[in-house]
Structure 1
Amino acid sequence: MDTRDVSESDEFISHMNRIKAAAAKASQRKGEMVTDHPPQQKVIADYYEHFCAEKTPSKKDDNKVNITTTLIPSPYLPCIVPAKDLEEMKITEMRLETHHRGKKVTLRVLTPPERMIGIIAIAQDEQGTAVLLQLYQQPAEELVTGVEILRPGKICIIKEPYFKQTGNGTYSVRVDHLGDIIWLTEGDERIPSHWNNSGAILNSDSASVRLQGNYAVENENWAVAQRLYSMAIQAAKTPEEKQLASLNRSLTNLKLGRPEKALSDAAHGHDPAAPTEKSLFREARALYELRNFDQSMAKLKLLAESYPENKAVGPEMKRVTVRLNEQQKGQYSFARMYKQSEMNPPLIDCADFSAPVEVRTSPGRGQGIFTTKDVSAGDLLICEKAFAYSHVNEDDDSVNLMLNMETDKMIVGGQAILLPQIIQKLFHNPEMSRGFFDLHHGDYQSVTVTECDGAPVIDSFLVERIITLNSFGSPRTSRASFEKSITHRTQETTFRTCGIWLLASKMNHSCVSNCRRSFIGDMQIIRATKDLPAGTELTFVYRSPEPLESYQDVQKSLSGWHFVCGCELCLERKATPDATLEKRRAITENLKRLLNNVAFSRVARARVLLSELDQTYVREEPNAPRLELSQHYIALGCHLVEMKQTRAAVAMVVKGLEALGFIIIACPPGWESTQSKLEVKRWGMSTGHLPWAFFQLYRAYEHLAPELCQVARHYLLLSYSMAVGEMDTCKNTIPDFI
């Protein structure tokens, strides 16, 4: 939804064809047994040569776009068989392009890693055969370094290994599912005897190892500290040692984005009958990150009662109180949200609000979101923080491309970063996976087993499919995007920044929606665009309707979601002959040229063209919006305001609103009524032009009927809030508005 899909771009199609040709060539060797494994030293030497070549800076070509491609291969299911039930195999027994079901291989890392799209290093099996080990969906480097993930000497079991050959001819074992790899720690009986003591920290004194973890914390090496505290727990000889190490590990799990594990560690970090000051605070913080604000407050109250001298609890309680107020009443400080949105990435510290809505079954459409009470146009329905969010600077000239080999789908932007981020979040916070996997995933069939070998089973390809079907493209703020539309006279419709919002993703599509989404950082704000009775299903657009679109083009753009839109606008499009659409395009081009340099002498001509444009609508659906007509009526109204032809301006703007489905009374004194009146009887389609239309009415009434300015101002603020999420900044965004 509003993501940058380049599947039809010639430039990217040629890029995809090259990759698919290489994949087709590799598939020709599927099932082939390899007999030419190079000696271990040559594999390592070739790896270092490749590593150095990749890291050597090359001269930048200003005319060449730097494309970083995340390739999604043909999907395969994660292993759901416990390692103990798998048969050990050698690398020399593996066949190319094959997933060795029912098998496992034990590997030992030989070289430092290289981070590319995945993380790679050379590893050997027990016989000394070396291959490239490729791990995908790993945490970002700034969170966990590649060296920490693939440290030389580490030993692992790869379950049901996938064996392949890379583009440069290197044989490799590729791991796409996090649960398909089991890392073995010191003392594990599954470690081959000749690999024992292979670089692990041998000091088994829990206190000593914990101190090393403390040193890592001081240097903010959270992943290293997490590993050391885990070793300290394993080495603990007393309950006190285990509790201390668990409590310290709780902090590292918080810093690594693993609040479920942090909460568990904090709970194990004290005697249940006598919770400590630090353990209560850590539990409260973990519950906060899990967005369980009421439970977090309960822990903080217990902390305040038990340890009244604690100075940190007061500010924390104030913060949780604000979250609870947001959650229960939908009262937000948008100024504070905008301030936070200036950060990189723009992550907002706010609670979710969704009191006026609920999820229900939508007949024939799966799940949907419905109002639980009567709501008015402009009312806040949902304010939701992203489950996962990937911010991409729109000015960045590099391109992150996610290419799905199975579906030929290519998306530019944050999806490639979102994929490992979400997989890591689900793997380390399995309770969160319920809401995510409940999202629409088309016809993809995954495994039903949720845990194996003590770890969550996360299907990476299912996650990718859910991201593709449910992610939203978003600006840093919709306000900034709206301001750009004023100055550049163009409306942004797709974005490279993207995220997943679990509740909003359940909303179904209509080109003629009854609510509208906007963004402030990673907060999605949804407001009603019409007056709606209780029990109404909410709909918004999955892709923004554009003027002059054909029915076929619209349905093609929606085909990825596997439905046909039957809204009144689509039915009108379907009934419009191609020749009529071409005539509409020609008239629209003439209007554009005319309105770009309009003068009073040309107003009559513009009205004639608008009348001709009006005749191109077949009226198959009487309530269908006429986007092209509305846009140009409002544009002409704006010019007439500038010419001080305010009465004519009001007439044009009203016609523009009526073309969007509005029923509106706009009578200044002496105009079909002795009493001046401005009233929206029925709200129509909400577009990016709507605030501008009401602003023109406001300007016209300043001269024509000042007593109506406050009413026009009210409608302007409502339409502005629909477009950008709030109305507080309207006076700063729209010039000359008081």
Structure 2
Amino acid sequence: MSPIATSTIDSYDLSPDQYKVIYEDAIPLEGQPPSALGKDDLVRIHNRNLELKKESGKSRNSFVLPAAYAPSSASLDTLQKISLSDLKLGTHNRGYFVTARTITSSYHSTDLITILEDDSGAVARLVQGFQNFSSSDSSIPLNSTVAIKEPYCKFNGENDWIIRVDHPSDIAVLKGDDAAVSLILQFVTEKKEISPTQWREAGDLAYLDKKFSSAIECYTQAIDNSTSDTAFKLSTLRKRAFANLTARSFSAAKEDAIASCLDPPEPGDEKAYFCAGRAAYELGLYTESEQYFTTALNLKPRDPKTLKELRKTQTRISEQETGVYNFASMIDRLKKGEVHLDHADFVSNTEVKMAEGKGRGLFARREIKKGEVVMVEKAFCLPDLYTTDQSEDIRDGQRLEMWNFNTNSRTQRPAQASLFLQLLKKIYGDAEASKKFFELDGGSYLRSGKEAEIVDGVPVIDSFLTEAIRLRNCFSCPSTSLSLLTSNPTIYNSHTTPLSAGLWTHAAYINHSCIPNSIRSFIGDIMIIRATCTIPAGAEILHQYKASDAAYLVRKQVFEQNWGFVCECPLCGKESGSKEVKHGERSELVERIKREVGRLGKEVSVARIRGVEKLVRRLEGLHESEVYAGLPRLMLIHPCIWLLERWREKREWGMVVKYGLDVLRNFGFGEDVVREGTLELGYEKGIMNVESMRALKVMGEAYKELGKLEVADECEKEAKGMFVVLTGSEVGIEDFFST
């Protein structure tokens, strides 16, 4: 028996390093005709790999983003058909397309792999990149017909080559397990005459079989070929509306539903108006949705299903107009496992405008008071996948990582790779979503300008631009920001809160500042942004892209590498003027303090605490007054928090107050925030976060112990105000402050 047939190694399961070697070996072969295995060998290897994958029961946990290339933006009508045997290595065959039939079932992992054969008998392996391997709807069954626009022929190792498809809009598939496909093929290839009734009946069967794209195509043919029968055309439009609604093509569903109704509406049209209302609701067009549901109720009064949808829509309108939400209900549903919550966006406080020197930014339309909601937004895309850096219990399907050959990097969390895959699916299946998405910043990636244009019925999708946009605009997020308060992260211990990664298109326009005027919080896929100080009308909304690392040089490097900008906020502007030797001395002393406290156990003597205090005073002296006057001193924050915690353990309340004040000063809230028994925090220059809130909470406890009840109450009041901003709502506030 051939060695190929008895191989125990899955040749499709390649590591990123193996991909890189193949990529480098391919460079000198560009333009050469491919030398490949024959049909029998290709099929034998493929089937053996299918067996090995089934035996192992495992899915690949990493995939590669290869060197970027532009998607095809040409219509099939404008391209010339060629054979698989005409392809050349390393070329994208611009101006041409191939059609072929699948002769094997699909090997399905993070890539989809199958074998193609065209009309001439030429064969090739197809590799369709970036598949969501947890989803069955992206498979290509046996005997499917595919059309690939401007196919990329790629060397794949010795005596092997593939057609690689990385952009979902570059390939069209008529699935072999779809009964409607045979009718479509007869119409296209055999030019067979098919009546409108036959088309509609085929659409009905496809719909019942949950082949919605085929149902939509059959209904379209029935409508286009129906000439004088108005009733037939309207009823078929209505069928197509529901097929589009089920397929989540909401704009098309709404248009079809309204087009299927008479003017004025007549009894019987209520189902179409219900469909239009559901489609408009999913598009976030709540006022329009309300009108459609109202019309449906006029035609069929007291219909319980329509009444329920109308009330839900009116709640969304209220949220959209007022920014008032039932946050307690949100958190209750989250506890029951609902991450993707049904709520409207509240963005009317803000507008996107050009920000001088920073491209586009988000600006306040009116004055927004400290603690007030700036905006609320539902995620454009968010995987329900929350893990910690130390997670050891991640399921195999969650152990995803993506290697990007264009940036020579890999994703750090499983949710980041999953977000990329889900973004591709969303923007390919939703033309309106793709337009909104491709308006976002993609950094230096060279665009074709054709992204999101509708060609051959689908939006042009650039997978590499999708990742470039994800890198610039996604946020790490907990399932709820309230959970962050259960841990107390410092430089001496790290977060254990599981995080996911998501993308919010409106919030993506907010620029960074190390001294922000807003904070984002999360409840499931809902982002809530509140003001940390009063924001005047017309002022730019700013938040931290990343929690401030203490060292200026570290922050500078992170911003340049991850987002491609140099921060010019008031703090960075001043710290950039500090001498390099001072930056180095401060960093060395911070590391020494960290090592010193790391050696100390849980029970720390007063003498040891005093020793750390001496080091902290030296660190204070390394901060130039001309640089840091009135500004945060980030490198002093965690050492002072450590001292605050130790003196609290010793119940030395005077020292607790001293280091609580130091923490607030080092966060930028002012040199002397307690004057004559009154607390006055400078929120405009202060950095509000969990640590500054905790400092206030502990100071409140200390002042109570010292008998200074008024200032204790003020500390607790300000800490509670920060709690609402940090978590997004008042939910859990009493429990937190009672412990």
The two structures share one fold, judged by TM-score above 0.5 = yes
Task: Provide the residue aligned with 1:41 in structure 2.
Answer: 40
Deviation for aligned residue 1:243? 4.1
Shift of 1:437: 1.5
Q: 1:469 aligns with which of 465, 472, 478?
A: 472
**How far 1:405 sits from its partner (Å)?**
1.0
Q: Give the Cα separation in 1 of the matches to 2:644 and 2:711.
A: 17
Name the SS for the 1:56 alignment partner: helix
Offset of residue 285 of structure 1: 0.8
**Letter in structure 1 aligned against 2:701:** R
The aligned counterpart of 1:265 is 256
Q: Give the whole-Å Cα distance in 1 for the aligned partners of 2:74 and 2:199.
A: 34
The one-character-per-residue Cα deviations of 1:303-332 (angstroms, maximum 9, x if unpaired) are 222221311122222211221121111111
Instruction: Please list, as runs of the form range in 1=range in 2, the aligned pairs for 1:514-533 lying within 5 A after superposition.
Output: 514-533=517-536
Q: Which residue of 1 aligns with 2:687?
A: 685
1:390 partner SS: coil
Which residue, 611, 614, 620 being the options, matches 2:617?
A: 611
For residues 220-369 of structure 1, the aligned pairs below 5 Å read: 222=210, 224-228=211-215, 230-235=217-222, 238-274=229-265, 276-342=269-335, 346-369=339-362
1:425 Cα offset (Å): 2.5
Post-superposition offset of 1:568: 4.1
Structure possessing the higher relative contact order (Cα contacts under 8 Å, 6 or more residues apart): 1
- Partners of 2:41 and 2:563 lie apart in 1 by 48
Distance 1:427 1:604 in 2: 62
Q: Match for 2:265: what amino acid?
A: A
For 2:586 and 2:430, locate their aligned partners in 1 and report how far apart those are by CA, in whole Å: 55
Report if aligned partners of 1:131, 1:170 keep a CA contact under 8 Å in 2.
no
Distance 1:52 1:250, change over 3 A: farther
- Asked if 2 retains the 8 angstrom alpha-carbon contact of 1:493 and 1:544, the reply is no
Contact kept, 8 Å, 1:511 with 1:567, in 2: the verdict is yes
Displacement of 1:459 in angstroms is 1.8
Answer whether contact 1:594 1:606 (CA < 8 A) is retained: no
Structure 2 residue 141 is the aligned partner of structure 1 residue 151: yes
The corresponding residue for 1:105 is 98
Shift of 1:552: 5.1
Cα offset for 1:495?
6.8
The correspondence of residues 554-703 of structure 1 with structure 2, limited to 5 A, is 554-556=556-558, 558-570=560-572, 571-572=574-575, 575=579, 576-591=582-597, 593=599, 596-600=602-606, 602-619=608-625, 620-663=627-670, 667=674, 673=676, 676-683=677-684, 684-703=686-705
The CA deviation at 1:424 is: 3.0
Deviation of the 1:625 alpha carbon: 1.6
Which residue number in structure 2 is paired with residue 8 of structure 1? none
**Partner letter of residue 566 of structure 2?**
V
| Residue identity opposite 1:368 in structure 2 | G
CA distance in structure 2 between the aligned counterparts of 1:272 and 1:490, rounded to whole angstroms? 67
How far apart are residue 505 of structure 1 and its match?
Answer: 0.8
Any idea what the Cα deviations from partners look like across 1:33-57, whole Å, max 9, x if unmatched? Answer: 024451x333222211121112212
SS of residue paired to 2:545: coil
- Aligned 1:343-492 pairs, distance under 5 A: 346-394=339-387, 395=391, 396=394, 398=396, 399-412=399-412, 413-449=414-450, 450-485=453-488, 490-492=493-495
- The match for 2:10 is none
SS state at 2:374 partner: strand
Asked if 2 retains the 8 angstrom alpha-carbon contact of 1:481 and 1:491, the reply is no
Aligned pair in 2 of structure 1 residues 488, 75: CA closer, same or farther (>3 Å)? closer
Partners of 1:607 and 1:203 in 2: how far apart?
86
C-alpha distance in structure 2 between counterparts of 1:649 and 1:581, whole Å? 25
1:479 CA drift (Å): 1.4
Partner residue, 2:727? 724
SS in 2 for 1:612: helix
Change in CA separation of 1:227 and 1:529 when aligned onto 2, cut-off 3 Å: same
Asked whether the equivalents of residues 37 and 160 of structure 2 are also in contact (C-alpha less than 8 Å), the reply is: no
Query: What is the SS of the residue equivalent to 1:427?
Result: helix
After TM superposition, the structure 1 stretch with the greater mean CA deviation from structure 2, 523-532 or 479-488, is 479-488
Distance 1:543 1:207 in 2: 54
Secondary structure, in 3 states, of the residue corresponding to 2:704? helix
Change in CA separation of 1:235 and 1:543 when aligned onto 2, cut-off 3 Å: same
Secondary structure of residue in 2 paired with 1:527:
strand
Deviation at 1:499, TM superposition (A): 1.3
C-alpha separation in 2, matches of 1:655 and 1:528: 24
**Equivalent residues in 2 for 1:175-186, closer than 5 Å:** 175-183=165-173, 186=183
Change (3 A) 1:626 1:596: farther
Q: CA deviation at 1:257?
A: 3.3
Give TM-score scaled by structure 2 length: 0.86
- Between 84-93 and 132-141, report the one with greater CA deviation: 132-141
Q: CA deviation at 1:551?
A: 0.5
Name the % identity. Answer: 25
TM-fit CA distance, 1:208: 4.2
| Cα deviation, residue 126, structure 1 | 1.2
Q: CA RMSD in A?
A: 3.2
Offset from partner CA, 1:635-675 (integer Å, 9 cap, x none): 433443444433332222112101111027665xxxx74xx
The separation in 2 between residues aligned to 1:735 and 1:21, in whole angstroms, is: 60
Measured after TM superposition, the shift of residue 491 of structure 1 is 4.6
Q: Does the C-alpha gap of structure 1 residues 138 and 592 become closer, same or farther in structure 2, counting only changes over 3 Å?
A: closer
Which whole-Å CA distance do the structure 1 matches of 2:87 and 2:338 have between them? Answer: 43
Give the CA deviation at 1:225: 4.3
- Counterpart of 1:259, as a letter, is F
Q: Report the CA distance between 1:596 and its aligned residue.
A: 4.7
Q: Distance in 1 between matches of 2:213 and 2:508?
A: 34
Residue 71 of structure 2 is aligned to residue 69 of structure 1: no
Q: Distance in 2 between matches of 1:610 and 1:89?
A: 73
**1:345-403 Cα distance to aligned partner (Å, 9 max, x none):** 61111111123322111111100112223333322112111111122241415421122
- State yes or no: 1:537 paired with 2:543: no
Going from structure 1 to structure 2, the CA distance change for 1:691 and 1:580 (only over 3 Å counts) comes to closer
| Rounded Cα–Cα distance in structure 2 between residues aligned with 1:581 and 1:488 | 13
Distance 2:142 2:60 in 1: 30
User: 1:428 and 1:115, CA in 2 relative to 1: closer, same or farther beyond 3 A?
Assistant: same
**Counterpart residue identity of residue 144, structure 2:** K
Seen in structure 2, the aligned counterparts of structure 1 residues 561 and 508 have a Cα distance that, compared at 3 Å, is same
Aligned equivalents of 2:681 and 2:80: distance in 1?
Answer: 72
Cα contact 1:291–1:351 (8 A) shared by 2: yes
Distance 1:330 1:360 in 2: 22
Q: Distance in 2 between matches of 1:174 and 1:634?
A: 54
Letter in 1 for 2:459: P
Q: Identify the match of residue 161 of structure 1 among 151, 156, 164.
A: 151
SS class of match (1:728): coil
| SS state at 1:32 partner | coil
Structure 2 contact 60–110 (Cα < 8 Å) conserved:
no
Mapped partners of 1:244, 1:151: distance in 2: 32
Q: 1:143, 1:294 → 2: CA distance?
A: 36
Deviations 1:206-261 (Å, cap 9, x if unpaired)?
A: 56445534643xxxxx4x24523542553466554554454344444434433223
Q: Which amino acid aligns with 1:152?
A: L
The answer to whether residue 549 in structure 2 is matched with residue 546 in structure 1 is yes
List runs of 5+ in structure 2 lacking aligned partners: 1-13, 175-180
Contact 1:664–1:678, Cα closer than 8 Å, also in 2: no
After superposing the two structures, state which structure 1 stretch, 287-296 or 339-348, moved more: 339-348
Task: Find the counterpart in structure 1 of residue 505 from structure 2.
Answer: 502
